[in-house]
Amino acid sequence: MSGSSIQVALSSASVYPLNVHDAFSVAHDLGYDGVEVLVTGNQISQDPNQLMDLAERYSQPIMAIHAPTLLLTQQVWGSAWNKIEMSAAMAAEVGCTTVVAHPPFRWQGTYATAFAQGIERIMDDYGVQICVENMYPWRARGREAKMYLPHWNPIPEPYEHVTWDFSHSAIADMDSAAAFRELGTRLRHVHLCDGADNGKDEHLVPGRGTQPVAEGLQFLRDTDWDGAVAVEVSTRKAKGAGEREEWLAETLDFARRHLHRDPVNRDDSTAYAI
């Protein structure tokens, strides 16, 4: 087992409604290892040259690009395939290998039906890993609405790489620690947060919800996992910058405590096996 630490990035989504520039600044001030950039309508988030300038200015490498595949970013970068391809191209240009993408919506036609094959081609073309994120069932009048094709759960799908989000797992009533074990080496990226079993996508500070977040991180620590953890905590309800930074510092401390590897003192008999 390597003694190297698992790196912890700050997602630019964590500083919303501030922008990606603020994410680099906050990540630097709090001691994060890098930044995950969520591509939005903000011009800087779409410009690899400006992103590289920020990475150099704040000594915060770009560790992942989150493609604009959210409902709220449907107008960014045009067609669904263009969103994925431009995200992959930008990731390659800024020097990171991870692209996060949501599974397709049912109404997205051939993009949805050919998604698994299409992302394989784009990964080969650009030399990146497209990590499909777990989502959750949408419910209307007590019934599940079929929003995603083929499904919101990436585990049984033929995706080579997966991103796991604890808040989404909470809504889906899934055990993230069990999912980590089942995914094995397909798990390449983690969105660190927490969630409660109340049907809301809250992206809580770890430890404030019901997910086995500590157990999940310890599993990563105790295996040869070499992906990255990106903090994606909602700070929209924070009362000013001071509380926002307190929450993000608390989350970073939580991550470091549970991801810390000590190859000399750690009892390997407690390690989990993939």
Reported as a single tens digit per residue, the pLDDT across 58-86 is 999 999 999 999 988 989 999 999 999 99
The pLDDT of residue 263 = 56
pLDDT, tens digit, 9 for 90 and up, residues 4-25: 689 999 999 999 999 999 999 9
Residue 209: pLDDT over 70: yes
The domain ranges of the chain are: 8-270
Alpha-carbon span 247 to 230, nearest angstrom: 14
CATH topology (fold) of 8-270: TIM Barrel (3.20.20)
pLDDT, tens digit, 9 for 90 and up, residues 221-266: 999 899 999 999 999 999 877 999 999 999 999 999 999 876 544 4
208 vs 139 pLDDT, higher one: 208
pLDDT, tens digit, 9 for 90 and up, residues 114-161: 999 999 999 999 999 999 999 999 876 667 778 999 999 999 999 999
With b for 16 or more beta-carbon neighbours within 10 A and e for fewer, the 144-174 pattern comes to eeebbbbebbbeeeebebbbbbbbbbbbbeb
The pLDDT of residue 143 = 73
Contact 149, 191 (CB under 8 A): no
With b for 16 or more beta-carbon neighbours within 10 A and e for fewer, the 193-213 pattern comes to bbbeeeeeebbbbbebbebbb
169 vs 272 pLDDT, higher one: 169
| Alpha-carbon distances of 19 from 29, 70, 128, 129, 271, rounded to whole Å | 16, 17, 25, 25, 39
